[in-house]
Amino acid sequence: MHIAVITLFPEMLCAVTDFGVTGRAVEQGRLRISAVNPRDFTTDRHRTVDDRPFGGGPGMVMKAEPLARAVEYARRITGPARVIYLSPQGRILDQPAVRRFAAEAASESLILVAGRYEGVDERFIEAHVDEQWSIGDYVVSGGELPAMVLVDAVARCLPGVLGDEASAEQDSFSGELENLLDCPHYTRPEVWAERRVPPVLLGGDHEAIRRWRRQQALERTRERRPDLFRARESAQGLSEEDKRMLADNGRRHDQDNES
């Protein structure tokens, strides 16, 4: 998959190109990330990318022409591409949307436009942007971090990017596909700061461990994310085992913690 990011701060992209899972995907050639700087497509002496808003008011607005030329240049290197503007006015990104981007990656590249200042000239959006996406209802200083969040989330869904274990997990009954929060995790030592690891995890009864983890996931989701829990109930319903686990509510693992 090829993703071009239109940004005034191309160096920021090293956070995804140089590290971790996304860094490896770039190294392996599964993911190509190109930065295109609108400043390189200005024609005036001062290389101006922003200007004062018509109608007055605080802050500056990104000029349409350098952005449009940057997108046209990006499309020459990516081939057929969907143009996405990261914007607080966009739809809020979720995992189904991320999965769709990854699935379409086979046939289509992405051009991500990261804005700075108060935003971009609306006529650029009308002329060149296919979709607008937000990463949530809070304010960050520009579109670069949101673009990198999108790149990271999409990259993880591309075939071969995650190791066998993680992708097998994604394919099967894991939280990501089931609208469930994760269960708690523990590693050595068995006692830390006077806290014991739940004994069921030390016993080697893999069926008991599976049941305990699922119960924890269900309970946490119901308590912490009732929105997800309801979405899950209406999408796939609760299995008989799920209902039993939720009815059992706490008793089983309270016992675990005492022993």
Judged on CB neighbours under 10 Å (0-12, 13-18, 19+), 247 is exposed
Residue from 118, 171, 182, 223 binding ligand 9D3 (CB under 6 A): 118
Judged on CB neighbours under 10 Å (0-12, 13-18, 19+), 1 is buried
Find the length of the chain: 259
Q: Cβ–Cβ contacts within 10 Å for residue 7, how many?
A: 26
Q: Cβ–Cβ contacts within 10 Å for residue 80, how many?
A: 8
113 vs 245, beta carbon nearer ligand 9D3? 113
Query: Is residue 53 part of the contact set for ligand 9D3 (CB under 6 A)?
Result: no
Please pick, among 116, 156, 214, 232, the residue that the annotation labels catalytic. 156
Query: Is residue 7 part of the contact set for ligand 9D3 (CB under 6 A)?
Result: no
Say whether 198 sits in a helix, a strand or coil.
coil
Known catalytic residue: 171?
A: yes
Here's the x/- map for ligand 9D3, 79-108, by CB under 6 A: it reads as -------xxx--------------------
Residue from 14, 103, 140, 168 binding ligand 9D3 (CB under 6 A): 140
Query: Is residue 131 part of the contact set for ligand 9D3 (CB under 6 A)?
Result: no
Q: What is the largest CA-CA distance in the chain?
A: 75
Residues of the shown chain interacting with ligand 9D3 in the complex, contacts defined by CB under 6 A: 86-88, 115, 118-119, 134-136, 138-143, 146
